[in-house]
């Protein structure tokens, strides 16, 4: 009898690098995730029930330490924000910010973003989606791990409302041009800045310490804003 081939594992867009998980961050995950987190399950999220109100929903994939997400939530209390991040130290850091600033318009999921989008985000439920500084996987043999691929673009299209915006940013020019090609070729999206154009940094994207440090070193940053049109 021929042995069965082992099941193929999906290509992940991340490596779980826990880094330094401080005692305060660990405590925040344990004590605050029940308050700001999304209950586990496979059913689509009811955003009105989750936030206790009906409001536009903006989602950030991979919020890092939560600096930009917390800033956007602070500036726009009329919007409901959902953040997805797989690395627990970043989740803990954001939870600390939310509690310290009493930000009630943010909810957090610590899981793989593609899984969450596929299973838990209802179609046409998002007004905007953000993807800021994803892992660029610079080596050619790792490009298949880059998050922005046709499959993700198709998935995001279904989750955005007509007219909804997808705002991306990266400090790797090669990845920026890859994103531009993939999104330009995708069905159902228009470049909000103009065909083949990168966007100036919208005021809606806060500058983070990470980006300010890069600017001092002369690093470029490329923003893209695409609108779902069909």
In the structure encoding, which two tokens stand for residue 81, read together?
Answer: 């924000």
Report in angstroms the alpha-carbon separations of 181 from 62, 71, 115, 196: 22, 30, 24, 8
Given a contact cutoff of 8 angstroms between Cβ atoms, the answer to whether 224 and 179 are in contact is yes
- Choose, from 112, 135, 190, 223, the residue flagged as catalytic: 135
Query: In terms of residues, how long is the chain?
Result: 230
Closest CA to 132 of 225, 230, 20, 31: 225
Q: In what order do the strands lie in the sheet with 189-191?
A: 106-109, 80-84, 57-61, 126-132, 160-170, 222-228, 189-191
Q: How many CB atoms lie within 10 A of CB 55?
A: 17
Examine the residue annotation and report whether 135 is marked as an active-site residue of this protein. Answer: yes
In the structure encoding, which two tokens stand for residue 88, read together?
Answer: 């627990």
The strand pair at 80-84 and 189-191 is best described as unpaired
Rounded Cα–Cα distance for residues 151 and 181 (Å): 14
Active site residues: 135
């Amino acid at each position: 009898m021929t042995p069965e081939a082992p099941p193929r594992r999906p290509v992940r867009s991340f490596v779980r690098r826990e880094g330094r998980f401080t005692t305060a961050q660990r405590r925040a995950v344990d004590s605050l995730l029940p308050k700001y987190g999304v209950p586990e399950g496979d059913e689509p999220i009811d955003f009105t029930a989750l936030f206790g109100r009906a409001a536009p929903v903006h989602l950030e994939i991979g919020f890092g330490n939560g600096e930009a997400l917390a800033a956007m939530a602070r500036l726009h209390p009329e919007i409901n924000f959902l953040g997805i991040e797989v690395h627990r130290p970043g989740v803990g850091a954001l939870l600390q910010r939310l509690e310290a600033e009493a930000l009630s318009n943010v909810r957090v999921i610590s899981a793989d973003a593609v899984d969450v989008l596929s299973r838990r985000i209802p179609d046409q439920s998002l007004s905007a989606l953000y993807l800021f500084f994803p892992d660029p996987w610079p080596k050619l043999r790792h490009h298949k791990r880059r998050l922005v691929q046709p499959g993700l673009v198709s998935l995001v299209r279904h989750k955005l409302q007509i007219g909804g915006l997808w705002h991306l940013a990266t400090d790797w020019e090669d990845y920026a041009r890859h994103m531009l090609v993939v999104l330009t070729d995708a069905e159902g999206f228009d470049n909000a800045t103009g065909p083949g154009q990168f966007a100036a940094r919208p005021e809606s994207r806060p500058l983070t310490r990470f980006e300010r440090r890069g600017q001092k070193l002369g690093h470029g940053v490329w923003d893209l804003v695409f609108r779902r049109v069909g």
